[in-house]
Amino acid sequence: MAEVESFPRMTAEEAAELIEDGTLVAFSGFTPAGAAKVVPLALAKRAKELHAAGQPFQIRVLTGASTGPSIDDALAEADAISWRAPYQSSRPLRERINDGRVAFVDMHLSHVPQSVLFGFFGKIDVAVIEANRITADGRVYLTTSIGASPSFLHAAEKVIIELNHYVPYEISDMADIVIPKAPPHRPALDLDFPLQRIGKTFARVDPEKIVGVVETNKPDEPIRFTSPNYYSGAIARHVVNFLLEEVAGKRLPKEMLPLQVGVGNVANAVLAGLGEHPDIPKYMMYTEVFQSSAFELMKRELIRGASTCALTLTPIQMLDLVGEVDFYAPRLVLRPQEISNNPALVRQMGVIALNTALEIDLEGDVNSSHVLGQKVLNGIGGSGDFARNAYLSIFMCPSIAKDGTISTIVPMCTHIDHTEHSVNVVVTEQGIADLRGLSPEKRARLIIEKCAHPHFRDYLHQYINKAGPGHIRHDLKKVFELHQNLLRDGAMLPEFPTSHEIKVRA
């Protein structure tokens, strides 16, 4: 039982009154899973009221990753955020970051807990953490994500618990929580298998820190993806065929290796493609987000088990999970992001990392985060944690965007999140480029032939042919010509096919 009587109970509005202008507030959540839901809404309301009265109110917001609308959307629309880290997927917040109203720190998600514990962000004044059980001695049972909440609970000066009765106890019992010791006395993590457990099912907090408990009964806010299309379907087929060829060539074991799959419609299409192909073996996942498409494959026993940081499921799937908990509990482990995204464990387990890109250049560098190198979309997220240390690092994207006015294959990325040293394979709907063991010029020509859209291939070939000599061939006068064309003319190449012609040629 949750020992709520041991701590002061209060409304969300009363909890919001405890948070002052200028404070650093850490919220639970990794995607909308396990995110605080009612206190941030009350904070947004309070901010609007104070602003209307001519008083300042903004806070610094720290989370494990992206969150639900109740945090980022609500607080951004109330102009209540002055600083944000480490990742976001909110349109209202993104607009304020890109016009300079909100300072944003984009960082690898595995780095967040250690940065908290060593004070890189300054002191955390208040942590607002969702749980479904708490005990008088400070055990906090988290809900559908772990994220950085164990570290927030440890570091915060004050703690507000959102006690969510909607989430069954069986969910929090899937947790495996451990906080590694500080360097230089940090032993290697004894974790050899995705479902191995090395920690506890609860996080800990000093009970004296808990200043209030707000009771709720709310499901996680849903994530909405676009429907699969020609591009995502074709990418999925290329990835599936590539993995089967790797198994046939004995470069992968017959049971494959654990998969990490990013979030989005391309990732969902790849998971669906893996589930549809009869020759794909049952496999494990070592990933940061276990999303609805993966849940359906586990339900069909095509995924044998998964280690994750968050369960991003639909309400119906959550009911299914609880109703069949004896089936799912041995197959799912929820970990802190410092463990789910740990680069050493990614290398140790030989993870196959499948992530999406905004643009990819002819060297194989990847931009995952910034449009035209300037405007942030979401951030780097966890892709860097996995890509740099994966057994196979695969990046995927359609070859074109905005009805063919944009090529995602460019001479040089306008922003680089993942260098060519972290990228093994590039995939678009056009094909797949295996870059392993290739020199820069051979990489460039393979990417053009296999991945670039036909409308842009001649331009890209001419760029390489006319570029100056060197280990890496570039023409510094024209390296961003496509991007400059886009800014000036609204298209990377002045003459481009209609969307109908693009689909025919694709």
Q: Is 288 a catalytic residue?
A: yes
Q: What tokens appear for 5 in the block?
A: 């009587």
Residue reference for tokens 């999303």: 291
Residue 336: strand, helix, or coil: strand
Buried b (16+ CB within 10 A) or exposed e, 486-498: beeeebbbeebbe
Polymer length of the chain: 506
> What is the rounded distance in angstroms from the CA atom of residue 139 to the CA atom of residue 170?
16
**212 is annotated as contributing to ligand binding:** no
Cα 360 to chain centroid distance, Å, stands at: 19
> What is the rounded distance in angstroms from the CA atom of residue 344 to the CA atom of residue 189?
9
Q: Which of 335, 214, 230, 356 is nearest to 286 (CA)?
A: 335
- C-alpha angle 236/307/195, rounded to 5°? 125
What is the rounded (10 degree) CA torsion for 143, 145, 148, 149? Answer: -10
- Alpha-helical regions (H) of 363-439: 383-387
Catalytic residue among 130, 221, 288, 359: 288
**426 is annotated as contributing to ligand binding:** no
* Residue 321 vs residues 291, 315, 464: alpha-carbon distances, Å: 13, 10, 53
Q: What element of type H or E holds 275?
A: helix 265-276
**323 is annotated as contributing to ligand binding:** no
Instruction: Kindly state the greatest CA–CA separation across the chain.
Output: 74
> What is the rounded distance in angstroms from the CA atom of residue 369 to the CA atom of residue 105?
12
Classify residue 137 as exposed, middle or buried by CB count within 10 Å of its CB (0-12, 13-18, 19+): exposed
CB under 8 Å to 480, separation ≥6 — which residues?
411, 412, 414
* Residue 39 vs residues 15, 25, 133, 134, 164: alpha-carbon distances, Å: 7, 11, 18, 18, 12
**266 is annotated as contributing to ligand binding:** yes
> What is the rounded distance in angstroms from the CA atom of residue 438 to the CA atom of residue 440?
7
Q: What tokens appear for 119 in the block?
A: 């004070």
> What is the rounded distance in angstroms from the CA atom of residue 464 to the CA atom of residue 309?
42
**381 is annotated as contributing to ligand binding:** no
**4 is annotated as contributing to ligand binding:** no
> What is the rounded distance in angstroms from the CA atom of residue 209 to the CA atom of residue 100?
34
**341 is annotated as contributing to ligand binding:** no
**262 is annotated as contributing to ligand binding:** yes
Q: What tokens appear for 159 in the block?
A: 């703690």
Residue 2: strand, helix, or coil: coil
Which residues line the annotated binding site for CoA?
262-266, 378, 382, 402
Q: Which residues participate in catalysis according to the annotation?
A: 288
Which residues line the annotated binding site?
262-266, 378, 382, 402
